[in-house]
Amino acid sequence: MRSIQLLQFLLPVVSVLAQQVDFECFDSGSSITSCASFVSTFCNTAATLSYDAGDAASRCFNVGDGTRCDFTATNYASTTETPSSEWCELAYDVLDQLCVSTGGFGNVVFVPNTFTFAISGNDTVCPFAIPI
């Protein structure tokens, strides 16, 4: 049933884009059900900067019930690039459908997109960062 729902979700997206999607769920992890409300904030913020080859944007969001959502966008190009907020949101929408119980990572495979997006839920709050 889940694969049929995912296929129904992906077919219009893939046919419109005429592109390939490449996603993988984590083997274990916490649910990302509560993470959907943070997708736009993360994607819009990540899209305001350019990232050198191999660099990543990441952000932790506290859900409010003692759990958190970790988002990452990694530039796999050999050049400095800026992620598209639209492709970022699409990737997280697919992950939400495909990997809701564990989180995962992936991208929409096409020439201008060099970013892989990852999301994971965790059973603890965001760690406190100590300024250097």
Per-residue pLDDT of the chain (132 residues; tens, 9 = 90+): 344 444 455 544 544 445 567 899 999 989 999 999 999 999 999 999 999 999 999 999 999 888 999 999 999 999 999 999 998 999 999 999 999 999 999 987 665 668 999 999 999 999 875 555
Distances from the Cα of 87 to the Cα of 63, 66, 122, 131, angstroms: 24, 29, 24, 32
Domain covering 2-122: architecture: 2-Layer Sandwich (3.30)
Predicted pLDDT of residue 3: 44
Beta strands in 63-103 (DSSP E): 68-75
Planar angle of CA 29, 85, 108, nearest 5 degrees:
65
Locate 98 and state its tokens: 């495909």
Predicted pLDDT of residue 22: 83
Predicted pLDDT of residue 114: 82
